[in-house]
């Protein structure tokens, strides 16, 4: 036979467990009711296959084949990576100025990224050699590379309309 003290402890333990379940259930219901506030980001640019944005909280948001606009939780983000059709990639990292994009409720933010692309070539003389610095620049000023080694870059030199020389670069 159980003593009165043992019955009281069993009753108290059961009561505490029931209260714990009620508290956990209430917290879960409250968490489900709190939806994160979303804002919209308009992408001005073309041919974007993947977009990775880094939030100020350190979390990355991935978007495969984003449309003209994407929804994001309100906050600040910066472009981390952009992949375009044909294998062109822009990866931003330390030492590169990358502006913060502020996503606010009921206000459309704009990100310029992707095509149309602009080709630039800077030629410098170093002794008897010419140093060619080629860059492919996106609509937002981001720089793209294509790591496809099957299509090495080609150079054609013209004098007016006359082709003087041409060739492909070798990697390595």
| Residue ranges making up the domain that contains 75 | 38-112
Q: Are residues 71 and 108 in the same domain?
A: yes
Q: Which of 73, 90, 112 is the last residue of a domain?
A: 112
| Residue 74 confidence (pLDDT) | 94
| Residue 172 confidence (pLDDT) | 55
Residue 30 lies in a domain: no
Q: Are residues 42 and 107 in the same domain?
A: yes
| Residue 33 confidence (pLDDT) | 43
Residue 25 lies in a domain: no
Residue 18 lies in a domain: no
Q: Are residues 88 and 123 in the same domain?
A: no
Q: Are residues 87 and 136 in the same domain?
A: no
Domain count, the chain: 2
Condensed to tens digits (0 to 9), the pLDDT of residues 68-122 reads 999 999 999 999 999 999 889 998 865 556 788 999 998 999 999 999 999 998 8
> Pairing relation of β-strands 154-159 and 162-168?
antiparallel
Q: Are residues 84 and 140 in the same domain?
A: no
| Residue 29 confidence (pLDDT) | 53
Residue 32 lies in a domain: no
Residue 87 lies in a domain: yes
Q: Are residues 49 and 101 in the same domain?
A: yes
Q: Are residues 102 and 83 in the same domain?
A: yes
Q: Are residues 100 and 63 in the same domain?
A: yes
| Residue 155 confidence (pLDDT) | 81
Region 34-54: mean pLDDT is 89
Q: Are residues 81 and 56 in the same domain?
A: yes
**DSSP structure string for the chain:** ---HHHHHHHHHHHHHHHHHHHHHHHHHHHHHH-PPPEEEEEEESB-EEEEEEEETTS-EEEEES--SEEEEESEEEEEEEEEEGGGEEEE--TTS----EEEBTTBEEEEE-SBSPEEEEEEEEETTEEEEEEEEE-TTS-EEEE--TTS--EEEEEETTEEEEEEEPPP-
Percent of the chain with pLDDT strictly greater than 70: 78
User: Over 60: is that where the pLDDT of 143 sits?
Assistant: yes
Q: Are residues 142 and 162 in the same domain?
A: yes
Residue 22 lies in a domain: no
Residue 74 lies in a domain: yes
Q: Are residues 144 and 92 in the same domain?
A: no
Q: Which of 112, 131, 159 is the last residue of a domain?
A: 112
Q: Grade residue 31 by pLDDT with cuts at 50, 70 and 90.
A: very low
Residue 71 lies in a domain: yes
Q: Grade residue 167 by pLDDT with cuts at 50, 70 and 90.
A: confident
User: Over 80: is that where the pLDDT of 170 sits?
Assistant: no
User: Over 80: is that where the pLDDT of 20 sits?
Assistant: no
């Amino acid at each position: 036979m159980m003593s009165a003290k043992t019955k009281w402890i069993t009753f108290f333990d059961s009561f505490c467990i029931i209260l714990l379940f009620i508290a956990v259930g209430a917290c879960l219901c409250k968490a489900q009711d709190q939806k994160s506030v979303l804002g919209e980001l308009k992408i001005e640019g073309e041919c974007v296959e993947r977009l990775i944005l880094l939030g100020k909280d350190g979390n990355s948001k991935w978007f495969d084949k984003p449309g003209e606009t994407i929804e994001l939780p309100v906050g600040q983000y910066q472009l981390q990576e952009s992949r375009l059709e044909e294998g062109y990639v822009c990866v931003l990292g330390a030492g590169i100025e990358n502006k913060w994009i502020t996503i606010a409720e009921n206000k459309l933010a704009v990100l310029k990224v992707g095509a149309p692309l602009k080709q630039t070539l800077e030629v410098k003389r170093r002794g008897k050699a010419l140093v060619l610095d080629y860059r492919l620049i996106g609509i937002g000023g981001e720089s793209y590379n294509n790591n496809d080694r099957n299509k090495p870059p080609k150079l054609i030199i013209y004098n007016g309309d006359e082709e003087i020389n041409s060739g492909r670069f070798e990697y390595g």
